[in-house]
Each structure stands twice: as C-alpha cells, then as structure tokens.
Amino acid sequence: MEMKDLYKKRIVEWLSAENGGGKKLIDFRWKISEENDVVVLNNEKVPFTLKLSFDEMAVRIFVDTLIETAVLDLEERLRIYRSLLLLNYQIDLVKFMLSGMNENIFARVDLDLKDLTRKELGDALDLLLSALFKMVKTLGFEDQFNKQIVERMIETIIDLREKGKSKEQIVDYLVQKIGFVRDDARKIVGEILVGEAGNMEGMYK
C-alpha cells in the first residue's frame, strides 16, 4: 500500500471514531463515502459537504460553497473577488478560490501528512468552517447560510469557553485566526456568552 493510502486510511479512521457526542467537527458522526479517490464527508449539522483529496505529501480539505460567480454581473463579481482576496490575506491557513465552469467559490486547507495528528486535523476542520462563517458575513450571504453557520460558530465559541479560554482569548482567536475586526469579535463573543442579543441572527445583519 502506498504511503498516500496509509495516510488516507488513518484519517478516515479518525473521522469514523465513535465520538458522536463531541462538539468539534472531527467528533461528529460523519457519513463518509469516496468519489474518484476523494473522501466525501457529510453531516446534517454542517451546511457544506467537505472533501479530502490526497497526494504523497499533503491532504487538501476543500468545500464547494455552490456560490456561482460566472453568472453575476461584472460589478458584483469584482466585489466578490476583492472580498475573497482580502479574506485570503486576513485568515490563517484557509484560502478561498474559484473553480469549475461556473467559477464557484471554494474554501481550501492544505495540511502536510507527515506527523499530522488527529488534533491538528480537527483544528483545521473547525477553522475551515469558521472561515466560511466569515466569508458568509463578508459577502452578505446570510440568508442562504446563516442559521447553520451561526449555530456552528456559537458551538465553537462555547467550546473554547468550556476549555477555560477567557473572553479576550476567544476574541483573539476570532481576530488572529479568522480576521475579524476586534470590536466585531467582542460583540459576537459578548452576545453569545452573555446572551445579550436574544435573537442571534440579528447580530450579523
């Protein structure tokens, strides 16, 4: 068996482990399938399909948001392209790109397979979905994706709190890892942890 296949087998085992009660993405009960040597992950709590492709050195985790840009008028396309370039500068590890005939928006994380741990894979999955949250908010696509994306962000912040992170440390995570403006990050964390918002969706409008 090639090294690539060994790595893929190990990662699939991590994702298949019986940790369905966990709050991190890697602990979810994933429906796992394979299409043309690509591992496909689905879960009813996650609004996007995650796909993993492998070579000898890396695993690439990517998401097709199904947002088509080729059909948009020029002004809207330029707005989206500019926003994605700024997000690529702001967010660690996760990169946004266009792919396919309809120039769909994709998000991707590349991880070195050598010495990759289950924790590192889990952190990358959580960061990927957090970056998608940031993209949805930046592009103004809340109506399409708001409910499930917001729910996952709430769970991520509460999980950090339960692990002993202070409010300011959680704010730092949103600023440093996902590219939020600090004032916006403080507002989001405050409303989630203290319950100041009442209706969570309202704080993203």
Nearest-angstrom CA–CA distance, 10 and 12 = 5
- Note whether 134 and 87 are within 8 A (CB): yes
Weakest mean pLDDT among 61-65, 87-91, 133-137, 154-158: 154-158
Q: What global pTM score does this model have?
A: 0.70
Write down the mean pLDDT value for the chain. Answer: 83
What does the pLDDT look like over 29-80, one tens digit per residue? 888 999 988 999 988 677 788 999 998 889 999 999 888 999 999 999 999 9
Structural domains of the chain, ranges and CATH numbers in brackets: 3-204 (3.30.1460.10)
Q: Count the helices and strands in the chain (H runs, E runs).
A: 6, 6
- Note whether 149 and 132 are within 8 A (CB): yes
